[in-house]
Amino acid sequence: MKTSKKAEIDAKIKENLVTSGTIFIDKFADILKANNGSPEVNSHYMQRVLHSIFFIGYVSKPRVYPEDFIPESVRESFKKKFPGPFRDYKSHVPHQTPYSILLEFMSENKNFNGPNILMQELWEINKSLWKTDTNIGYQPVANDFTATVIAYSCYSDIKDNNNVKSAYGSSISCRGKVPRMIMIHISVLQVWDLAISYAVCQEGNSPALVFPNKVCCHAFSFNCNRNCFLEVPPCAKCNKSFRDVKFNPSCENPDDDPTWPYGNCAENESLNKLLKGCQDLRSRILTEKNTEGNQMDITEIETMFKKEKEEKLKKTLKNLLGSQNIPLRETNGKLQSFQPM
Ligand SMILES: [Zn+2]
């Protein structure tokens, strides 16, 4: 590719990333303000969103610095109010993408009776997170941080009078192969329940996780052309990895091999949160039977993950971070991750 053409493309990618980040920060500040929560809670979430955006900007190509995301008129006040993200964006890893933090805020701080009302609010939010090009309808030209798919999982907790426990998750929402792979590896190594991490690493191969009855999972994908969320079936990998989950709608093409990287799907984050929030459900997870008829329980799955997967994943993450000149830092075997003040 000619140098001038490449420079032109890079400039466009950078412009879209900066615009997406700036709009996201602005909109998230509005959401926090409208919620009337405590200043401590608002600051906690804003610090995490800023740090996540700054980190992703730094590991993107071309690189974007924190200052680029914050308009000059408010830059100094942001630095004073939220020094942590400006200090730690290249030394500490985030645990979630900005959209996943937004989704966590929405689902934990507002009362939604089921997914439909939340999806309606997210639809409004998504529209405002985009810079759209009026010449091409609703197609966004800058939406690097918007999640395409949201998943909702639920479980009737037998140990708790069959009360329904639910959890939301989003697909990995950042643009570019390296940032995306970095975020997936962080999730697998440090954020998700190790049973989910193990299943994700199996990439649809045996042994799959077997869920107890009564676990459901619905996913919604934002359709740009129709400007709405539509229910979507799980991909073949999720369908194979998470056995006996009642996916609605069910998987259409169970033999297809999806083209996106393993770990990208919203189902992972959603089922992970469901497991973390419900110990009884967690304790009922098993792997499917192997040829000798043996199954692993949750403790054995964790041991297997640590034995077979962890080191390799860490090595890949180290290389991915290293390619962006970030050393992999650990404290007591854990990745050094951002903690809001
Ligand atoms: Zn999937």
pLDDT at 84: 98
User: How many Å lie between the centroid of ligand 1 and the Cα of residue 267?
Assistant: 6
pLDDT tens string 232-274: 999 999 999 999 999 999 998 888 887 777 789 999 999 999 9
Q: pLDDT-derived band of residue 338, with 50, 70 and 90 as boundaries? A: very high
pLDDT tens string 121-158: 998 888 888 766 666 666 666 789 998 899 999 999 88
- All residues at 6 or more sequence positions from 133 whose CB lies less than 8 Å from its CB, including other chains: 139, 140, 141
What is the rounded average pLDDT for all residues in the chain? Answer: 92
User: How many Å lie between the centroid of ligand 1 and the Cα of residue 234?
Assistant: 5
pLDDT at 16: 92
Task: Report helix angle 298-308 to 310-322, nearest 10.
Answer: 50
pLDDT tens string 212-224: 988 999 999 988 7
User: How many Å lie between the centroid of ligand 1 and the Cα of residue 68?
Assistant: 34
pLDDT at 117: 87
Q: Taking Cα atoms as reference points, which of 251, 242, 254, 250 lies closest to residue 285?
A: 242
User: How many Å lie between the centroid of ligand 1 and the Cα of residue 235?
Assistant: 4
Share of residues in the chain with pLDDT > 90 (%): 74
User: How many Å lie between the centroid of ligand 1 and the Cα of residue 245?
Assistant: 13
User: How many Å lie between the centroid of ligand 1 and the Cα of residue 230?
Assistant: 16
- All residues at 6 or more sequence positions from 214 whose CB lies less than 8 Å from its CB, including other chains: 155, 156, 246
pLDDT at 137: 62
User: How many Å lie between the centroid of ligand 1 and the Cα of residue 336?
Assistant: 28
319 and 193 in contact (C-beta within 8 Å)? no
User: How many Å lie between the centroid of ligand 1 and the Cα of residue 238?
Assistant: 4
User: How many Å lie between the centroid of ligand 1 and the Cα of residue 25?
Assistant: 28
| Higher local confidence (pLDDT), 39 or 261 | 39
pLDDT at 159: 84
Residue 169 sits at the vertex; the CA angle it makes with 236 and 164, to the nearest 5 degrees, is 100
pLDDT at 166: 93
User: How many Å lie between the centroid of ligand 1 and the Cα of residue 310?
Assistant: 21
pLDDT tens string 40-52: 999 999 999 999 9
| Higher local confidence (pLDDT), 67 or 227 | 67
Q: Taking Cα atoms as reference points, which of 21, 24, 23, 1 lies closest to residue 9?
A: 1
User: How many Å lie between the centroid of ligand 1 and the Cα of residue 209?
Assistant: 14
pLDDT at 1: 64
User: How many Å lie between the centroid of ligand 1 and the Cα of residue 71?
Assistant: 37
pLDDT at 136: 60
Among the listed ranges 45-54, 57-66, 67-76, 227-236, which one has the minimum average pLDDT value? 227-236
User: How many Å lie between the centroid of ligand 1 and the Cα of residue 155?
Assistant: 19
User: How many Å lie between the centroid of ligand 1 and the Cα of residue 28?
Assistant: 27
User: How many Å lie between the centroid of ligand 1 and the Cα of residue 205?
Assistant: 13
pLDDT tens string 159-168: 888 889 999 9
Task: Report helix angle 310-322 to 177-186, nearest 10.
Answer: 140
User: How many Å lie between the centroid of ligand 1 and the Cα of residue 243?
Assistant: 13
pLDDT tens string 272-322: 999 999 999 999 999 999 999 999 999 999 999 999 999 999 999 999 999
Provide the token pair at 248.
Answer: 């609605």
In the chain the beta strands, taken as DSSP E runs, fall at: 131-132, 140-142, 149-157, 163-170, 209-210, 215-223, 228-232, 242-243, 246-248, 286-287, 330-331, 334-335
User: How many Å lie between the centroid of ligand 1 and the Cα of residue 246?
Assistant: 14
CA distances from 43 to 29, 71, 302 (A): 10, 19, 34
For the chain, give every domain's residue range.
Answer: 3-335
Q: Taking Cα atoms as reference points, which of 125, 103, 120 lies closest to residue 30?
A: 125
User: How many Å lie between the centroid of ligand 1 and the Cα of residue 179?
Assistant: 19
Share of residues in the chain with pLDDT > 70 (%): 96
Specify the amino acid at residue 296. Answer: M
User: How many Å lie between the centroid of ligand 1 and the Cα of residue 143?
Assistant: 21
